[in-house]
A and B are shown apart, each in its own frame.
Chain A
Amino acid sequence: MIRRYLWGAAVAGFVLLPWAAPSFWLTLADVAGILALIGLGLVLLTGAAGLTSFGQAAFAGIAAYVCAYLTTMAGLSPLAALPLCLLAVALAAIILGAVTLRLSGHYLPISTIAWAAAIFYLFARLQLLGGQTGLDGIPPVSFGPWAATSAARSFVLIWGCVLAVIVTQKFLLRARAGRAIRTLRGGTLLAESFGIPVFRTRLTVFVYAALLAGLAGWLYVEFIRFLNPSPFDITAGIKDLFVVMIGGAAFPWGAVAGGAILTALPVILQAVTSGQNENYVLIAYGLIIVLLLQRSRLGLVGALVARFPALQAPARTVGPAAPLPARAAPRRGEVLLRVEHVEKWFGGLCAVRDMSFEVRAGEIVGLIGPNGAGKSTMFNLITGAAAPSAGRITLCGADVTGASPRAAIRRGLARSFQHVKLLRGASVLENVMIGAHLRGRKGLFAGMFRADRAEEAAIAAEAARQLARVGLADVMHRPAGSLALGPQRLVEVARALAADPVLLLLDEPAAGLRHAEKQELAQLLHGLRDAGIAVLLVEHDMDFVMNLVDRIVVMDAGAKLTEGQPAEVQTDPRVLDVYLGGAE
C-alpha cells in the first residue's frame, strides 16, 4: 500500500515540480536526474551483476561530444543526433567489454580507470572537439515548437527518462534476463551450469549501463548547451559509482537517492563552509564511502527497505500456469552417460586415471572413495567444468568431451554443488527459477516491457512444483540465505530439477541434512528413478548411499577400484582396505 502512495508521490512530483519549484531547485534536480540515470546503469552492472566500472563518465562524455559535434558542425537536430550518440557509445562499450569481460572480475574496474583516463585526455586534446576550452552554441532539444530551453523543461525531459528507466528496470530485474544477470553474482560456474552464457550476459549488461550513461551524457549537453572535458574526468567516473554505493546499488531508487545526495552535498557544504569547498567535498565523499561500506553495504534505500518491510516489493505470486516445454523421457535402461578411459592431469599430478563407467536411465549410481580419490575432479570432467586430458565422455549419445557446462545442461545434465551456490539475497523461489533458464525464451526487451508474463508464470509454477517435491513449498518466499545448510542443499536439488534433466549429478546432497530430511531425500530420488531419470551422486554418508543406490563405483587414487551392487562393494576386501587403511 505504502509503495503505491510513494509511486503516486513520485508521479505527482514529476508533474507538479516544473510548475511550482524555483528554477535554482529545478537546476539541481536536473543535475541529480542525470546522475541518477548513470546510476541506474550501475544498478544493473554493479548491484545486479556484481561488475564494477569507474568509466561511466567517459561513456557519457562520448555521447555528449558526438552530440555536440553533430549539432554544431554537421547541423543535425539533437533528436536526430541521439541514435548516433548511442551507437557510438555502444560501439565503444562492445570493444572495451570484449577485451575486459573475459578476465576475472577485478580487471574490469582497473581497466575502466585507465581507458576512462585515455578517453578524457582525448577530449581535452582534440582541437576538433574544442580542446580544454570546449564547444559552444549547442541547440536545445525540440519537438516542433516546444524546446527544452529552461530548467523546468529540461526537468520534464530528464526525469521522464529516469522514471521510464526505473519502471522498465524494475520489470527487467524480476524477469528471466534479469535473473540471468543476477546469477552472475553467484560465480561463473553457477551461471554456465544452468546455460547462462557468462561472457555474453556480462557484455549485455555492460552495454546497457553504457547506453544509460550515454543517454545521460546527451541529456547533460542538451541541458548545459556548452561542452568542455572536465565533467567527464576520472573523478566524475568515481563519483558515478559513489552514487549507487551511497544510494543503494541493489535498487533502482537507490540511484535516484544517491544522485540526489551527491548533488545536494556540495551545495550544503558550500553553505556551511561558505566558499572554497572542493577539497572538503572530496574528503567528505571519501569518508562517507569508507564508513558506509565498513558498516553496511546496503546504501540508503537498502537500509530503508531493511528497516521498513512494507517498502519491499511484494513476493511473486504463484498460480496455475501452462506447463513449460519438457524433454522426452529417455528409454529405461538407455545409456545416458558413458565415461571411457578418461584421464585428468594437473601438471605432473594425475587426478583421474583411466576411468570408465556408465550411468543408465532409471538408475541411481553412487560414486564413492576416500578423500582425494578424484571424485570431485571426475564430477568436474562430466559436467564440463574442466576438460579431460584424455578419454571420451558421451552424454545421451553425443560426445561432450571437453565441452562447456552449457553443452552439458543443454543435453539434460543438471547438477548441484558441493559448496552451495545460491543467490543468498534472492528468494528460494527465484533461485529455483534460475534452474529453468533454458526452458524459457524471453529476452531483455520482453522483460523490460513485461511481454513475458505467461512464460514467467509458467517458470514460477514449475519452480514452485519442484520446491514442493523437495518439501520446501512453505519457505519459497524466504531469502535463500536465511535457510540452514541442509535445506539450502535441497534448494539446489530443486533448482537442478527445474531444468527438466535426464541425468542429475548431486555433489554430497545429504551433507548437513537431519535424519528425517535424508529419508525424504532418498524417497525423492527413488521417485525420480522410477520416473526414468538417472542420478549420479558423490556422497560420504555410507548408510545413506548403501540404502539408496542401485550401483556403486569406487574410486581410489584417481582410478576405478571396483564397481558393483552395494552389497558386493560393502564386502569387497579392497574397498574395506582403502577405507579402513591397509592392514599390513
Chain B
Amino acid sequence: MNSTIATLLIQDGLTSGAIYALIALALLIVFTITRVILVPQGQFVTFSALTFGLLQSGVMPLVAVPVAVLAVIVTLLDVAAARPAQRLRTLRDAAWRQLAWPALLVAVTVFVTTDELGTFGQILFTLAVVIPMGPLMYRLVFAPMADASILLLLIVAVAVDVAMGGVALLLFGSDGVRTEPLIATSIPLAGIRIHGAVLLVIVTAAAAMLALFLFFGRTMFGKALRATAYNALGARLVGIRVRRAGQVAFVLAAALGAVSGILVSSIMTVYFDSGFIIGLKGFIAAIIGGLASYPLAVGGALAIGMIEAWSAFYNSTFQDVIVFSALLPILVVRSLLSPDVAADEEPAE
C-alpha cells in the first residue's frame, strides 16, 4: 500500500459511493412518500446504462417499445374507468398527456440514427425513455394498491423487479456494456490526478443532491411532498393529492436512476442483471439511514463505496461477501437503537 494506491482507492470509493448515494436517496424518497420499498430502482439504472451503452456503440435499442406499450395500457385503463359519455374526451386528453411522448420516442427509435443523435442527444434520449418508466410503474402497479401493507408492497416490488429483469434480457441481451468516459482527460488537483469520469460522477451527484435539497426545502410542492411523507391522511385533509405525490416520487426515483445509469456505464461493465446488486448496495445505505434520514443515507452510501473499493484491493474474491456482510453490524446497531419491541407497529392484516 502506498499513497498512489490509496488515492486511487479513495477515488474509486467516492465514485461508486456517490452512485449508491443517488440510489439511496431515490429509495428514501419513494419509501417515505409511498411506503414502497422500491427494489426495481436498480432496474432504472440497468435500463439507462444499457440504453446509453448501446446508443454509444451505434445500436438503436428498442427500449421505447415497452414504454409505449405500458402507456397504451394506462390509456385503455383510464378510458375503461371513465363514464361512457366521457370516454372520448378521456381518450383525447390521454393522447396528449400520455401517448404523445412515447410516440415521439418510438418515432426517434425508428427514424433517427445514433450518429444523428450525437452524445448529447443520446443522453437526452436515455433520460427521456427511462424517466417515464417511473410514473408508469406507479400508475399500473403501486397506485391501485396504495392501501396495502408495507410487506405486500415490497413483495410486489420484487415481482416488478423480476419482470423488468426479464424484459431487460429480451431488449438488451446478455452481453455487458461499458462506455467510454464522457470526459477523457484527468485533472491535477493538489498533487493528485483525478480522472474526469470520477469528477463527473461526483459533481453530478452533488448537483442532484443540491437540487433535491432545494426542491424539498424551498418549493411549496416539495414541502407538500414532505408533508405527505410525514402523514398521508393529514396531507390529504389539507388538500395535497397523495396520488400526485406518489407520481412525483416515482418520477424523481426514475430520474435519479437514469442519471446513475449513464454515470455508472463509464465506470463499470453493466449487464442486464447488474441493477439488482447496485440497487441492493443503495438499500444498505438507506438502512444505515434508518429508511428515514437523508444525510445518514448519503454518508452510508459513501461508506459502502469505500468498503467496496478497499475490500476489492485486499481481498477481491470476497468483495461482495464483505460488502453485504457489512449490513450485519449495521442491523445490530439499529436493533440496539430501536425502541422496545412492545412499541406497536403496523399489523400485517
Which positions in A face B, CB cutoff 8 Å?
50, 52, 54, 96, 99-100, 102-107, 109-111, 113-115, 117-118, 121-122, 125, 184-190, 192, 198-199, 234-235, 238, 241-242, 245, 278-290, 293-294, 297, 384-385, 404-405, 421, 423-425
Tell me if B238 counts as interface (CB < 8 A to partner A): no
Task: Compute the total of residue contacts between A and B using a CB distance below 8 Å.
Answer: 172
**Across the interface, which residues of A come within 8 angstroms of B165, CB to CB?**
282, 286
* Closest CB pairs A-B (n = 6): A286-B163, A50-B348, A282-B166, A289-B159, A118-B324, A283-B166
Residue of B nearest to A286 (CB): B163
17 A-B pairs besides A184-B348, A242-B159, A289-B155 with CB distance below 8 A are A102-B335, A102-B338, A105-B346, A105-B348, A113-B280, A115-B324, A117-B277, A117-B320, A117-B324, A118-B327, A185-B348, A187-B346, A238-B158, A282-B166, A286-B163, A289-B156, A385-B342
23 contacts across the A-B interface (CB closer than 8 A)? A50-B348, A52-B154, A96-B328, A99-B331, A105-B151, A106-B154, A106-B291, A107-B287, A121-B324, A125-B318, A184-B348, A188-B341, A189-B344, A192-B342, A278-B166, A285-B159, A286-B166, A287-B159, A293-B152, A294-B141, A297-B152, A384-B342, A404-B342
Find out whether the CB atom of B283 lies under 8 angstroms from the CB atom of A114: yes
Of the listed residues A107, A192, A290, the one surrounded by the most CB atoms of chain B closer than 10 A to its CB is A290
**Across the interface, which residues of A come within 8 angstroms of B283, CB to CB?**
110, 113-114
Tell me if B239 counts as interface (CB < 8 A to partner A): no
Mostly, the A contact residues are helix
Find out whether the CB atom of A102 lies under 8 angstroms from the CB atom of B324: no
Of the listed residues A105, A235, A405, the one surrounded by the most CB atoms of chain B closer than 10 A to its CB is A105
Q: A121 and B320 in contact (CB under 8 A), knowing A100-B331, A283-B163?
A: yes
Find out whether the CB atom of B346 lies under 8 angstroms from the CB atom of A198: no
Interface size on B, residues (CB 8 A): 54
Q: A282 and B162 in contact (CB under 8 A), knowing A106-B37, A109-B154?
A: yes
Give the distance in Å from the alpha carbon of A58 to the alpha carbon of B164 in the complex: 23
Find out whether the CB atom of B160 lies under 8 angstroms from the CB atom of A290: yes
**Across the interface, which residues of A come within 8 angstroms of B342, CB to CB?**
188-189, 192, 198, 384-385, 404-405
**Across the interface, which residues of A come within 8 angstroms of B155, CB to CB?**
52, 241, 245, 289, 293
Chain B 121-168 residues near chain A, CB threshold 8 A: 141, 144-145, 148, 150-152, 154-156, 158-167
Mostly, the B contact residues are helix
Find out whether the CB atom of B320 lies under 8 angstroms from the CB atom of A290: no
Expressed in whole angstroms, the minimum distance between the Cβ of B131 and any Cβ of chain A is: 21
Q: A104 and B345 in contact (CB under 8 A), knowing A114-B283, A121-B321?
A: yes
**Across the interface, which residues of B come within 8 angstroms of A281, CB to CB?**
166
Residue of A nearest to B333 (CB): A99
Among B37, B160, B340, which residue has its beta carbon within 8 angstroms of that of A404?
B340
Give the distance in Å from the alpha carbon of A279 to the alpha carbon of B166 in the complex: 4
Tell me if B334 counts as interface (CB < 8 A to partner A): yes
